[in-house]
Amino acid sequence: MKDPSPHRPSSEAVPVRFGAKLRTLRRNAGLSQAYVAQQLDISASYLNLIENNRRPLPAPLLIKVAQLFQVDLRAFAPDEDARLLGDLYEAFSDSMFEEDRLNSGEVRELVGASPGCARAVLKLYRAYQEARASAEMLASRLADGDGVEVRALIPSEEVSELVQRHMNHFPGLERGAEALWREARLDEDDLYPGLVRYLERGLGVQVRVARRGDAEGMLRRYDAERRILTLSELLPTRSRNFQLAAQIGLMTQRQELDEVLRDERLSSDESRSLARIALANYFAGAVLMPYEMFLRAARGERYDIDVLGRRFRVGFEQVCHRLTTMRRPGQEGVPFHMIRIDVAGNISKRFSASGIHFARFSGACPRWNIFAAFLTPGMIRIQVSRMPDGASYFCIARTIQRDSGGYHAQHPIMAIGLGCQAQFARELIYSDGVDLKDPTTAIPVGVTCRMCERDDCEQRAFPSLRHPLRVDENVRRLSMYSSGGSR
């Protein structure tokens, strides 16, 4: 039995932080170091060095670990650690930790040495944030004489985390959508009749379109007892197709949905119900934009969202969301991130396959082009963004507006942001004419003011925790938290 050389790590070595994951797997299985070392054909002392992050975990050994503990290799993917690290950075940027003077090295060490402990700290902070928000809301309502009960749990956050853990790709639902195309003999040029026909003949469900007065405020309603699916006449054709496909997903993909919803991190019935809807919507997107057909079109049109929307008869947001799901092994598209916000800056949808980190506990950086999109409704805004760690991203943003509800209905405006790492920008038609090599093209962007190390930003709303606050009462700048200068 021969150990890999401790002085010459393999060029294929996995980052050393995986030692903590290996230790957690071993302890959860109740196995000794000696036993695991024997199964891996290494010495117990070498295993101890790996678990304590003093030696790398070579790729061949990583495969043996995955086989021994019967886990997917994706459990060792660095993305999860990167998101955990980003979330902890943001949590520790809270002013309550200001006196502790935590630095980035200490936070990285916590994640690397004990990711379970790091997640527990983050869980505690989230609970604190939710409790504080609930207390403030409760105090406000009591002051107004309203005794409404307030709950601290945020189901939408749990669903966002579920989607992120699966990298917004659900192979079972993709297979279900492809099976529907075969069984229903769907035609891309005549999709609506095909879906209606499948519901009526295959599932025994009658489809009706209700007038606005008969279905006030309702877009889709399914009466399970009478087996009647009612759609609002206010829905445009593309939205009717989406709602039909979503209902088919709820009825035919129950086993696949239940499998995903067994995730123990969905802590409430509300979270599971919301997740079921999100997964049904995922299925609908897969039906309207079949994987291989859509990916081929996206590559051929260089990810032109307007062209793809017209070809598949879907909206801007639906195309953007579908682009983020192209993660099938061997058939991956550009790894995108996506975010949706309203005019107040509230994030209602987020996903990142690009590696970019989104703010969760505080306001996002105002330099993002997604905020500027509200100034030019319907126009695509392009931006090359450079984060404080030096990573660059190519981002587009555009507003969307709900087009149903009638003349007197409110038409909320939101903005969609879609982006990727700068290295993939040339695959997008939107990069034409953009000098990606010119360093002055990139706009310095952060995650939040409190986390951002740039102390020369004139759009700062709060001081950075990375630098001590210095205020000169004899000097007034555009932002009192900015040191001036430019870089």
- Give the residues across from 417 on adjacent strands: 339, 397
pLDDT of 362 reads 60
Nearest residue to 24 via CA among 40, 14, 39, 36: 36
pLDDT-derived band at 2, boundaries 50, 70, 90: very low
Classify burial at 404, counting beta carbons within 10 Å of its beta carbon; exposed 0-12, middle 13-18, buried 19 or more: middle
pLDDT of 13 reads 36
Please check the confidence at residue 274 and state whether its pLDDT lies above 50: yes
| Section 360-385 average pLDDT | 87
pLDDT-derived band at 24, boundaries 50, 70, 90: confident
Gap between the Cα atoms of 279 and 224, Å rounded: 20
Torsional sign, CA 154, 112, 78, 19 = negative
Q: Is residue 445 within 8 Å of 392, Cβ to Cβ?
A: no
Q: Which residue has the tokens 């509230």?
A: 346
Highest mean pLDDT among 43-52, 139-148, 294-303, 460-469: 294-303
Residue 164, domain member (yes or no): no
- Is there a single domain that holds both residue 190 and residue 281? yes
Identity (one letter) of the amino acid at 39? Answer: Q
Enter the tokens of residue 324.
């983020």
- Is there a single domain that holds both residue 198 and residue 277? yes
Residue 162, domain member (yes or no): no
Please check the confidence at residue 41 and state whether its pLDDT lies above 50: yes
In this structure, the number of other CB atoms found within 10 A of the CB of residue 487 comes to 6
Residue 469, domain member (yes or no): no
- Is there a single domain that holds both residue 322 and residue 444? yes
Torsional sign, CA 457, 461, 465, 468 = positive
Lowest mean pLDDT among 147-156, 196-205, 352-361, 432-441: 147-156
pLDDT of 256 reads 96
Classify burial at 353, counting beta carbons within 10 Å of its beta carbon; exposed 0-12, middle 13-18, buried 19 or more: buried
- Is there a single domain that holds both residue 324 and residue 411? yes
Nearest residue to 356 via CA among 391, 319, 383, 396: 391
Classified as helix, coil or strand, 475 is coil
- Spatial neighbors of 25 by CB under 8 A, at least 6 apart, are 65, 69, 71
- Is there a single domain that holds both residue 95 and residue 207? no
- Give the residues across from 351 on adjacent strands: 338
pLDDT higher for 35 or 357?
35
pTM (predicted TM-score): 0.72
Q: Is residue 196 within 8 Å of 244, Cβ to Cβ?
A: yes
Enter the tokens of residue 469.
């606050």
Lowest mean pLDDT among 5-14, 336-345, 377-386, 410-419: 5-14
Task: Using alpha carbons, list the distances in angstroms from residue 70 to 73, 133, 254, 337.
Answer: 9, 41, 26, 30
Please check the confidence at residue 145 and state whether its pLDDT lies above 60: no
Residue 191, domain member (yes or no): yes
pLDDT of 273 reads 95
Per-residue pLDDT of 99-121, as tens digits, reads: 666 666 677 777 766 777 887 88
Please check the confidence at residue 487 and state whether its pLDDT lies above 50: no
| Section 357-367 average pLDDT | 74
Nearest residue to 25 via CA among 14, 10, 35: 35
Residue 294, domain member (yes or no): no
Percent of the chain at pLDDT > 70 equals 77
Per-residue pLDDT of 308-347, as tens digits, reads: 999 999 999 999 999 999 999 999 999 999 999 998 888 8
Lowest mean pLDDT among 43-47, 265-269, 468-472: 468-472
| Section 154-162 average pLDDT | 87
User: Which residue blocks in 414-457 are alpha helix, DSSP H?
Assistant: none
Q: Is residue 90 within 8 Å of 360, Cβ to Cβ?
A: yes
pLDDT-derived band at 135, boundaries 50, 70, 90: low
- Is there a single domain that holds both residue 313 and residue 443? yes
Please check the confidence at residue 258 and state whether its pLDDT lies above 80: yes
Overall number of domains in the chain: 4
CATH assignment of the domain containing 63: 1.10.260.40
C-alpha dihedral, 368 to 371 to 373 to 374, nearest 10°: -170
- Is there a single domain that holds both residue 183 and residue 279? yes
In degrees and rounded to multiples of 5, residue 105 shows phi and psi of: -65, -40
Nearest residue to 14 via CA among 92, 66, 84: 66
Find the domain containing 49 and state its range.
18-76
Q: What's the whole-number average pLDDT of the chain?
A: 82
CATH assignment of the domain containing 240: 1.10.10.2910
pLDDT higher for 460 or 378?
378
Residue 296, domain member (yes or no): no
Per-residue pLDDT of 180-230, as tens digits, reads: 999 999 998 889 999 999 999 999 999 999 887 676 667 899 999 999 999
- Is there a single domain that holds both residue 127 and residue 177? no
> DSSP letters of 170-226?
-HHHHHHHHHHHHHHT--TTSHHHHHHHIIIIIS--EEEEE-GGGSTT-SEEEETTT
- Is there a single domain that holds both residue 113 and residue 230? no
Among 262, 288, 314, which residue terminates a domain?
A: 288
Identity (one letter) of the amino acid at 168? Answer: N
Residue 50, domain member (yes or no): yes
Per-residue pLDDT of 48-93, as tens digits, reads: 888 877 787 777 888 888 888 877 665 566 556 667 777 777 777 6
Among 253, 288, 323, which residue terminates a domain?
A: 288
| Section 271-277 average pLDDT | 95
Q: Which residue has the tokens 């079921």?
A: 276
Please check the confidence at residue 177 and state whether its pLDDT lies above 60: yes
- Is there a single domain that holds both residue 228 and residue 313? no
CATH assignment of the domain containing 395: 3.30.450
Please check the confidence at residue 350 and state whether its pLDDT lies above 80: yes
Identity (one letter) of the amino acid at 260? Answer: V
Among 232, 259, 288, which residue terminates a domain?
A: 288
- Is there a single domain that holds both residue 101 and residue 62? no
Would strands 413-421 and 327-328 be described as parallel, antiparallel, or unpaired?
unpaired
In this structure, the number of other CB atoms found within 10 A of the CB of residue 417 comes to 27
| Section 302-309 average pLDDT | 97
Please check the confidence at residue 149 and state whether its pLDDT lies above 70: no
- Is there a single domain that holds both residue 86 and residue 72? no
Gap between the Cα atoms of 196 and 138, Å rounded: 47
Buried b (16+ CB within 10 A) or exposed e, 105-133: eebbebbbeebeebeebbeebbeebeeee
Task: Using alpha carbons, list the distances in angstroms from residue 465 to 11, 95, 140, 431.
Answer: 37, 8, 30, 35
Torsional sign, CA 269, 260, 75, 33 = positive
Gap between the Cα atoms of 77 and 79, Å rounded: 6
Per-residue pLDDT of 428-442, as tens digits, reads: 999 999 999 898 899
Enter the tokens of residue 412.
């909320």
Residue 153, domain member (yes or no): no
pLDDT-derived band at 422, boundaries 50, 70, 90: very high
Buried b (16+ CB within 10 A) or exposed e, 137-165: eeeeeeeeeeeeeeeeebbbebbbbbbbe
Enter the tokens of residue 388.
């404080």
